[in-house]
Structure formats: C-alpha cells, structure tokens
Amino acid sequence: MTLSLSVSHRFAEFALDITLEAGPGITALFGRSGAGKTTVINAVGGLLRPDAGRIAVDGDVLVDTKRGIFVPPHKRRLGTVFQDARLFPHLNVAQNLMFGARYAPKGSEGPALSDVISLLGLEGLQTRAPATLSGGQKQRVALGRALLSHPRMLLMDEPLASLDGPRKQEILPFLERLRDGPLGLPILYVSHAVDEIARLADRLVLIQNGQIQAQGPLFEVMSNPAAVPLLGVREAGAVIEADVIAHGADGISTLRISAGEIELPGVQAPIGARVRLRVLAQDVILSLTRPEGLSSVNVLPVQIEDIHPGDGPGAAIALRAGTDRLLARVTARAVAELGLSKGTQCFAILKATTVAPGSIGR
Amino acid sequence: MTPDAAAWDALRLSLWVAVWATVLAIPLALWVAWLLARRDFWGKSLLNAAVHLPLVLPPVVTGYLLLMAFGRNAPLGRALESIGLQLAFHWSGAVLAAMIMGFPLMVRAMRLAIEAVDPKLEEAAASLGASRQSVFGRVTLPLILPGVLAGTVMGFAKAMGEFGATITFVANIPGQTQTLPSAIWSALQIPGGEGQAVVMVLMASAVAVSAVLLSEMLARRVAARIAGT
C-alpha cells in the first residue's frame, strides 16, 4: 500500500507545492506551524480540495484535478486521527469504537473490536462517556475508532500535540506497537516535535513554506547537515540503532553500535533488544587525537564526510562512524583552528547524557 | 364557569391545526436550518430574510398575501382546488397559515442547535466512512435532537396562538375554521360573552405556558448533551 501525492495549492500567505510517496511504516511530515503539513493531510483525507494535483493510493486515484476526479472523504477509506480526539459526545467509548467498524467494508481485513481494545489498553473503558476520559485515553479511543474502520492507511495530524509529557509517554508505545505490529498499516504522521519523529518515523519529510526541503529514510535525513536549520540547532542530531548487550549493576548499560561500544545510563530495554539512540548534534565534541582522562568514556573514531557552514557562527559536520552517520555541531572557528575538512580522521566524544530515557525506542 | 361546546370545538381545532402545521414544518425547517447553518450559497441572506419575514410582517398582511396566492380566484388556489385541495376558508388553510407563522421560530432554534455542533465531529464521521446522510443521521441529528424538539414546541405554541393571518385567510367559521384565538375574539364581540372568553383564555394560556416550559427544559438538555455530560 503506497500513497503517491503531488499537489499544489495557493494560500494567501504562501504556495504549497509537494510531491511525495508514503509506503509501509511511518512517514513523518515535519515542519513548523504554518509550513503546510496539515494542508497535505487534509488534501489526502479529502477535507481540502487542492488547486492542482493528483493523489492516489496504489492504483486508486483519489484526486486528479486534470481529470476532475475528487473522491469524497467518506469513500477514501483512510483513517484519520486528529489532534483533538473528536470523539462523538453522545456515544460511549464502545459506541464510538463501533462507529468506525460500522463503515468498514464487509469482508475487509483488519482488526476486530477485541484486538483494538487489547492493543490500545481500552479494557474497562467501554461504557465510559468521552467527557470523563483523560486526554490520552481519548486519543487512544480515537485511534481505535480509526483502526476499526479498516482503513488502507492512517493519517495522523499531530496526535500527541495537545497532550502533556506523561500522556505522550502513555501513547507512544501504542504507536510503536502499531508500527511494528502485524497490521502493517502505512501511517502518514504530521508533527512538529522532533523527539516524537526520532522515536517513531521510518521516513522523514521536512517541509518549509509549503516546499519539501529534504526527504528520505529517517536515519539519513536526521544526519543530513543541511537539515540542521530546519530541525532547529538544539533539536538536530542523528538517530542511530544500537543493540543492548549488558546492563551494569551501577545502572550503566553497554550498547553496541556499528562503530564500537558505548555506555549509557537509563536504558530500559532488555539485553538483546535493538533500540534507537538520538545523538544530538550539540552533544558531540570532536578531537583530532584520541582524548585521555575524560569523564566521558564514549569516544568513537570517525571520519568527516561533509561540513555544512550555517548562517551564524556554527557549522554542522556529518561524521561517518562505522556504517552509521552522526552529526556534530561545532563553531566555524573550531573548524578553521583544527583544520577540519572532508576526509579528516578524528574522534567524536558523545556525552553520556545524550540519550534521554524518553527518546529510546522500540 | 365551564367551557361550552364551541370552546371545546375551538380547542380541538386549534390542537389539530397546530399538530398538522408542526409535523409538516419539521422536515422543511430542519433542512432550511441546516442550509443556513452549514452551507454557503448564493441567495443565503435572501432565504434567511424570507424565513424571518412572517416574524416582522403584520400577521394580517401575511394572511392577505396568502389569500392573494391561494384564494379561490387566485391561479394557485384554483390549481390546488382542481386537485381537490382547498386552502382558503378551510382548516387546511389554517394549517398553512400556522406553518408559515411558526416556521421562523422553528428554523431559529434548529439552526442554533446545528451551529453548536462542532463541524469537526462531522468531518471525523466522514473520515470513518459515513456518507453525508449518515453523518447527519448518526452524529448531527442526535446532538441537535433537543434543539429540534425545542424548536418544534415553539412552532407548536405559535401555531396554537396564530390569529391575524388565520382569520384573514380562512375566516372564522365556528366548527370549521374557528380556532381558539378566533373564538376568543368572537366571544368578546358578543354582549355577555366575556365568561366564555375567560375560559378559553385560560385554555390557551395553559397550552402556551406548558409549551414554553417544555421548550426551556429541552434547551437545557441540548447544552448538556453537546458538552458531553
């Protein structure tokens, strides 16, 4: 199941012009508010009629302005989860869930009510009225309702944006289960939170002023030095995969990445698990010689792949570390003083605080 | 003092006319209310003005306009009469007059109820696969039901009390077109008729007050329902 989209739409303030494909897994659309993310979701869902373009799911054309095709929202079979859960206030939780199931085509493949209730931890909530639910519970019911309509694809428009930290942590594991589970539903996920995307996305599309600035596999885009200004200098940084190989008695765990082993505190995953690590660019320090006597033990030999000067005093540096790519943010002055250039062999020092517990995934 | 036969006749006819007028007006009022609340189209303000016209026109003018359109010598009246439907000087004409006079009140209440429903809920229902009719039937209508009932009660009360347009259009024939307000007016024209007038005034007041109380109660429920409590 693959979504192909190419739309342009003119607003008073800017013109949107987007071409993208979203296949299995989670494709995240990231951009600041007003960048055009929600416009894309609304065009796919049928809430917005684009000025020009074509949208298709596999061979099924939903919109083709040239041929005058516009399939109404209720015939698209795309489940949408909105930022506000939009549960029907006159129906209880079970009735809200069954509202989705009512319109699933007869004989269509997809989860049953009991599957959704256990997947999303909704046991015991069935007879509750939406007004009595917490924000996180509402959002889980909204997700279940969408799943029960047996959509070909899920559209999620900032589903966590109106929730506080603990509520977000409550939902994230469910979204991960959905991504890794047997449903294998493609998800188009709009967000302006880098931590959510680093944890969830398989592919990332960066949007600014209605234009795509970068797109590709998450690990590639997150470690692309050109993406630093788009993600924000504080949020930018590579996402890499690591295997948990040991948990120390002192709470420090050892993880293996392609360039070697690193030690991190606060790793919850069991030994043998594969986790995602987010290495913020501003938390990576470069040294030309192997440093001695440091409080951090996470030192990796790396090679400079690319140097991307920013508008300010900083520069983003792409580093090859084993088969992974890391991103470091240093000052332009340091680049000059150390004589850093493409191909330079050096050492990257990762602060052990690099990975917050919340940003360890899987 | 007990109501005489004419008073009971008038009450019966008024209730009969008001029930018919209300039942016939509900679907049309709901549709117009939905158009005004949810759609944008050319001539929307014109439709809105037309709906509200009976509220601002003197009722006798509305009655006269009805007579011009549906009188036995008017083309429309003659056409309807040829298919066996006489409106002028007939209780069915009183139904039409009551419908028109109560219509703005019904549309108003229903429109407010529809506007109080978040369109985002309707979008969500459509995204789940519900057609526009299903969205209306399963989401919008249940949420506005108390508002629809409140508007219906207001329309019913207005139909019960309608006098000016009715007496102009269908006259005041006891037992045929004499509604409760017309009967009260007639009683007041007869020396010594005040007694029966007072009885009928009490009847009319009882019906009107119950209608308003019912409507208030239902209006409170619409608010509670949309707030989801």
**pLDDT tens-digit series, residues A261-273:** 888 887 888 888 8
Answer whether residue B52 shows pLDDT above 50.
yes
CB contact burial A24-51 (16+ within 10 A = b; e otherwise): ebbbbbbbeeebbbbbbbbbbbbbbebe
Asked whether residue A12 carries a pLDDT value surpassing 90, the answer given is no
Residue B6 makes CB contacts below 8 A (sequence gap 6+) with B174, B175, B178, B183, B196
With a cut of 50, say whether residue B115 has pLDDT above it: yes
Q: How far is A262 from chain B (nearest CA, A)?
A: 46
Which of A84-98, A261-275, B213-227: highest mean pLDDT?
A84-98
* Predicted confidence (pLDDT) at residue A362 exceeds the cutoff of 70: no
Among B121, B128, B138, most A C-beta atoms within 10 A, so best to mutate, is B128
Once rounded to an integer, what is the mean pLDDT over residues B184-208? 90
Q: Which of A163-167, A256-260, A321-325 has the lowest mean pLDDT?
A: A163-167
Amino acid, single-letter form, for residue B213: L
Helices marked H in A194-302 — which ranges? 194-200, 218-222, 228-231
Give residue A154's pLDDT: 92
Contact list in B for residue A82 (CB cut-off 8 A) is 120, 124
Residue A288 has pLDDT above 50, yes or no: yes
Partner residue facing B226 (CB), from A77, A89, A129:
A89
Give the model's pLDDT for residue B228.
Answer: 56
A-chain residues within 8 Å CB-CB of B140? none
Count of C-beta atoms within a 10 Å radius of residue A99: 23
CA A330 from chain centre, in angstroms, equals 26
Minimal Cα–Cα distance from A38 to chain B, Å? 14
User: Looking at residue A278, what is its pLDDT?
Assistant: 87
Residue A302 CB partners (closer than 8 Å, separation 6+): A259, A286, A319, A320, A321, A326, A345, A346, A347, A348
Task: Calculate how close chain B gets to A89, using CA atoms only, in Å.
Answer: 5
DSSP bridge pairs for A307: A317
Mean pLDDT of A50-66: 93
The count of CB pairs under 8 A between chains A and B is 73
> For chain B, how far is it from start to end, CA to CA, in angstroms?
48
Does the distance separating the beta carbons of A80 and B121 come in below 8 Å? Answer: no
Banded pLDDT at A360 (limits 50, 70, 90): very low
CB-CB under 8 Å, A89 with B228? yes
SS3 B175: coil
- CA–CA dist B153, B166 (Å, integer): 19
Cα B127 to chain centroid distance, Å, stands at: 36
Q: State chain B's mean pLDDT as an integer.
A: 89
The complex's ipTM works out to: 0.82
- Look at residues A263, A217, A228 and name the one whose alpha carbon lies nearest to residue A242: A263
CB contact under 8 A, A86 and B120: yes
Structural contact between residues A230 and A204, judged by C-beta atoms closer than 8 angstroms? no
pLDDT of residue A359: 46
pLDDT of B226 reads 65
Nearest to A39 by CA among A207, A217, A213: A207
What's the pLDDT score for residue B149? 87
Number of H helices and E strands in chain B, helices first, is 11, 0
CA distance B122 to chain A (A): 9
| pLDDT at residue B225, rounded to an integer | 67
Give me the amino acid identity at B200.
M
Nearest to B128 among A89, A131, A149 (CB): A149
Instruction: Identify the contact set of chain A against chain B, taking CB-CB distances under 8 A.
Output: 45-47, 72-75, 77-80, 82, 84, 86, 88-90, 99-100, 102-104, 129-131, 142, 145-146, 149, 155
**Residue closest to B16 by CA, chosen among B24, B4, B5, B28:** B24
Average pLDDT (A35-54) is 91
